[in-house]
Structure formats: C-alpha cells, structure tokens
Structure 1
Amino acid sequence: MNDDRGLNRDGTIAREGSLSRVQERFAPVVAAARSRIAEVFGPARLDSAYVYGSIPRGTAVPGVSDLDLRLALHDEPTDADRADANTIETAPDRAFPQINGAGILPASRRTLLSDLERHDAGFFVACLCTPLLGNDLAGQLPRYRPTSLLARETNGDLALVLPRRRARASEATTDEGRRTLSRVVSRRIVRTGFTLITPLWGGWTSDLGECAALFGRYCPERAGQMRGAGALGRTPTADPAVLTPLVDDLAPWPAAEHIAVHGEKAPRP
C-alpha cells in the first residue's frame, strides 16, 4: 500500500479504516453499537453495517470525535427504520463520554449497489467504511481510482445544497444549532476543495487537515481560508461572524470551480 497517497499498489484507493485501528478507549463504543444494531434490526432487516470516520481510522480524539455508522438494509428505509436508527444514535452518546454524538446513515442494499450511486455511496462503502456486521458489499463494487468521475459524483453538488445551508444559517437561533451547521458546512467545503484537486494529486485522504493542506498546494490564493474551514470542521463555532462568511464567501468558490472542472453530479430523484 502507498501510505502517502492512500492507494493500493495497483493505484486503486485503499480502504482507509479497520477495526484493528480502533483505539482502546473507543473499542467499547464500537462493540456496543454493533450489539445494539444487531439487536434492533436483526437479520430480517439488516444486510450489513459499517463504522466510518476517525474511529476506524485510529485518529479519534476523546470528547471530540463522533461515532459514524452506515446501515445497508434489505429494503428501502421506512419511517420505522429511521426511528430505530435515531434511537440507536442516542444511546452511545449518553453512555460513552469519549464520543461527541453519533450518527447513522440507513440505505437499502439495492441503492448502495446501484449504477447511480456507484461512485458516491458505493465508493463510500467500499473505501471509507469498515465492516461491522453482515456481508461486506465492497466485494460487489469496483476498485476505485482518484478520477474526475469520482470527484464529480462525491462532491459535485455543493452548489445545489448551498441555498439550503444559507437558509439554515439565517434560521439558526441556538449555539448548538450554529455549531452543528458550522461543522457540517466547513467539512463539506473542505471535502469539495479536496476533490477539486484529487485527480491532480492522484490519491485519497479523509483527514480534514491533510485535505486542506493538499488543496492549498494547487490553489494557494484560497489556502488560508481552506485551512480555517478544516479547523472549524474539527472544532466548530457558534459565532455567526464566522459562519456567515463561510457560507457566503468561501463556499461558492469551490462549488463553482468544482462544476467547471469536473461537471455536475448526476441528479438524484
């Protein structure tokens, strides 16, 4: 494996996480999540489950990092499935002070393996998710390379979501709401900036700091702003004076540039 660029020897993107990398302090969190998912969903509904993010990458920070989970269900998620997922989300956050929140993304097996999601959710499962339960869908997905197609399908829709982010920024009335939005927006900006230059760099990383630094090599005029966004992604703020320019000034630039370079993401229903 090419550790410098996150690639396998054949130039394809390596799976970035592993249960063997989970730090000792976070191992009980992962074990509890696995047990609870199996108990609530069971084999009748659950095809497979995954953990992703800093915990399986071995870079989680106690009290700062969150627990991120992905579920592949046999059928399209129902309201009951989403309610059960929400219930599971709240338990680890209450029981384990070493995490700062938990999130579960449910989707059907069919959707994750579909042609439409092949270079977005499919890539996510195959390269960014670590198997936790069930049969790993990665074996039914291609090997991925850091191409313009991958860049477009993973982050070619920031321009479409910006109006919603602006509306949420203007409507946020609590510090917690503004912090959450600050975290979501800043991370999305950094990842869009990184995938803008991914084919030029020729590798993959999910580390926000590294994403921002690599972006700065190719777009030095925006390097400082992107480093700031990367810092916000790890330590978000409730200050509107920081959030507003993030949404109104920085975000539109990578959104437009990404489309100009890689094209628009294929529309979803």
Structure 2
Amino acid sequence: MATRHPPDQAPDRAPGRAPDRGLDSQGYIAREGALGLIQDDFRPLVAAARDRVLDAFGSRLTAAYLYGSVPRGTARAGRSDLDLLLVLSARPTEADRGGADVLEAGLDKEFAQIDGVGILLVDRAQVLSELETYDLGWFVACLCTPLLGEDLAEFLPRYRPDSLLARETNGDLELHLARWRGQLAAAGTDADVRVLVRRVSRHLVRTAFTLVMPRWNGWTSDLGEMAEAFARYYPEWGERIRGAAAVAYEPVADRGALASYTEEIGPWLAAEYAAVHGVKAPRP
C-alpha cells in the first residue's frame, strides 16, 4: 500500500516540473527516450549506427539500445555525443571491443553532428542477472531506447525511485574517487583534463541526485534539474553541485575543480550516501 504523507511531509514539486516527475500513473519510473524523439539532424547518424552495428556483430547481437540526449531529443548539434549499449549473446571479447572501437571512430569522423561516440558492451546474462537487476537492468529498462533485437526490459521488474535503487546505482562512489585521483595525476594535456572534468562532474551530479531521489520522489536525467533537487535537501552543498552540472555541459580544463571533487565534496558525498542508503553490492 502506498504511504500517505501528511501535508507537511508530502514530496514537494520542482518549479516547472510536471506532476509525474518522470513516473507513470502507478509511481514507477517511466522509460525515457524514444526513436520518435530523435531530431532530424541526428536521424542519418542513427540509421548508419544501426546498419554498422548489424554488420559488425551479426548473429551475436541480442539487442542494441540508444541512451542519452539523442533518444531524449535534447542533443546539441556538434556538442553532444552518441551513446550505444550493445547486448551480446555471450561475454564480450577483446575482438568485440576492437570492433566497437572501429565503429566509434568511423561514426565520429563521418558525422559532424556529434562530438564523440561511446559504445558499451555487455552480455544478455549480465543484464538479467540478480546482481545487476537494480543497476544495469534498471538502466536498460528505464534509460535505454530499443534500436535492434529483443527488448530485455520485458524480463525485468518495474522500478520505483527508492533507497534500494539509489544504493545499487550509485552506492560505490568511494571506489570511483581513488580511480579519479589516479586519472587526474596522469592527465597530461588540457584536453585530457576537460574530458575528465566532464566525466567526473556528471557522475557527481547524478550521485548527488540519487542521494535525494527517494525524498524527491521521481527521476530526471537533466543534470540541472538533478542539481536543483539535491540543493533542496543539502543547501550547504547546492552551489557546488550546480557548478558541477554547469561544467558537465561546458567542460573546462580546471584541475582545481577536479581536486575539489576528489578531496572535498566527493568524500563527503560518499560518506553521506553510505549512511543514508548503504554501500552497493560488490561486483566481481
């Protein structure tokens, strides 16, 4: 039975946000994105990606999905990247990764509409495993748009914006912090730093949002909206997360910002997350 909140405890609504907050009529996270939302500028790119994925992986391909700004219809020509998730029938090999690298480079070179291509490779058993139900499984069911093959969302549960989902999606920030410190030390050029700023800031904003997601009672992939939702509950960190959202969209080569992420707000966020939601189940 759904919990009834007294008026002073009811989840508040973000200004300008639809009452559903990304949820369906039963309170489950609605799948975002659709092929019909893809802007005209990006349709030739998606058609080429679909054909080349089939050529490269053939019968080994179980499913292909789009995710990110392109299937949400919010991509910016010349600024956004193309994100693909490929589900194979067996565990991806080094040869599969090599094939994906070739696809990424070819599409990025040929289509000026995008600034980079990212292809994730997983296998069907991994997506449908119990361990990944509230992480990779949720990602496929709620954030990915079917492009080719079967839709594995049919075999997955429906998801609410609850503490279990928060824990299993982003409850491993501590592990990322150590990795980011090493990557910052190894970043030799401004371009390297900008790439790292973009990646780290996006991850921090999403983690900050999922920390408060059950209280906010909804889902969004808009980084600005994520930052505002977080700031409602942790105003003392609000400007820092708003700043991270801004540079996630317009990355700069700022080593100081990265150091503040890994040494100040990151450690606080990891500790607070563990205290509120617990730690993500270990992966092999």
TM-score by length of 1: 0.97
| Stretches of structure 1 lacking an aligned partner (at least 5 in a row) | none
SS at 1:41 equivalent = helix
Partners in 1 of 2:95 and 2:206 — Cα distance?
Answer: 32
Matching residue of 2:162: 147
Q: Could you tell me how far 1:4 is from its partner in structure 2? A: 4.2
Partner AA of 2:28 in structure 1: T
> Is 241-250 or 126-135 further displaced after alignment?
241-250
Correspondence 1:112 to 2:124:
no
Correspondence 1:214 to 2:229:
yes
Partners in 2 of 1:216 and 1:17 — Cα distance?
Answer: 26
Q: Could you tell me how far 1:267 is from its partner in structure 2? A: 0.1
SS at 2:161 equivalent = coil
SS at 1:251 equivalent = helix
| Stretches of structure 2 lacking an aligned partner (at least 5 in a row) | 1-17
> Is 105-114 or 25-34 further displaced after alignment?
25-34
Partners in 2 of 1:7 and 1:268 — Cα distance?
Answer: 29
Partners in 1 of 2:166 and 2:149 — Cα distance?
Answer: 29
Matching residue of 2:13: none
Q: Could you tell me how far 1:242 is from its partner in structure 2? A: 2.4
Which of the residues 51, 56, 79 maps onto 1:64?
79
Matching residue of 2:143: 128
Partner AA of 2:46 in structure 1: V
Matching residue of 1:259: 274
1:68–1:3 Cα change, 3 Å: farther
Which of the residues 49, 71, 91 maps onto 1:33?
49
Partners in 2 of 1:264 and 1:150 — Cα distance?
Answer: 11
Partners in 1 of 2:65 and 2:148 — Cα distance?
Answer: 7
Show the 5 A alignment for 1:217-236.
217-236=232-251
SS at 1:222 equivalent = helix
Which of the residues 82, 85, 89 maps onto 2:104?
89
Partners in 1 of 2:37 and 2:20 — Cα distance?
Answer: 17
Partners in 1 of 2:67 and 2:58 — Cα distance?
Answer: 21
Matching residue of 1:13: 29
Partners in 2 of 1:19 and 1:211 — Cα distance?
Answer: 24
Partners in 2 of 1:67 and 1:3 — Cα distance?
Answer: 30
Aligned length: 267
Show the 5 A alignment for 1:138-177.
138-177=153-192
SS at 2:175 equivalent = helix
Partner AA of 1:131 in structure 2: P
TM-score by length of 2: 0.92
Q: Render the CA deviation track for 1:100-130: whole Å, top value 9, x for unaligned.
A: 1010000000000000000000000000000
Partner AA of 1:242 in structure 2: A
Q: Could you tell me how far 1:237 is from its partner in structure 2? A: 1.2
SS at 2:23 equivalent = coil
Partners in 2 of 1:26 and 1:248 — Cα distance?
Answer: 39
Matching residue of 2:58: 42
1:99–1:208 Cα change, 3 Å: same
Partners in 2 of 1:264 and 1:239 — Cα distance?
Answer: 30
Q: Could you tell me how far 1:49 is from its partner in structure 2? A: 0.2
Partners in 2 of 1:36 and 1:247 — Cα distance?
Answer: 38
Q: Could you tell me how far 1:257 is from its partner in structure 2? A: 0.8
Q: Could you tell me how far 1:3 is from its partner in structure 2? A: 6.2
Runs of 4+ in 1 over 4 A off after TM superposition: none
Partners in 2 of 1:157 and 1:226 — Cα distance?
Answer: 18
SS at 1:107 equivalent = strand
Between structure 1 and structure 2, the one with the greater Rg is 2
Correspondence 1:190 to 2:205:
yes
SS at 1:119 equivalent = coil
Q: Could you tell me how far 1:131 is from its partner in structure 2? A: 0.2
Partners in 2 of 1:23 and 1:4 — Cα distance?
Answer: 24
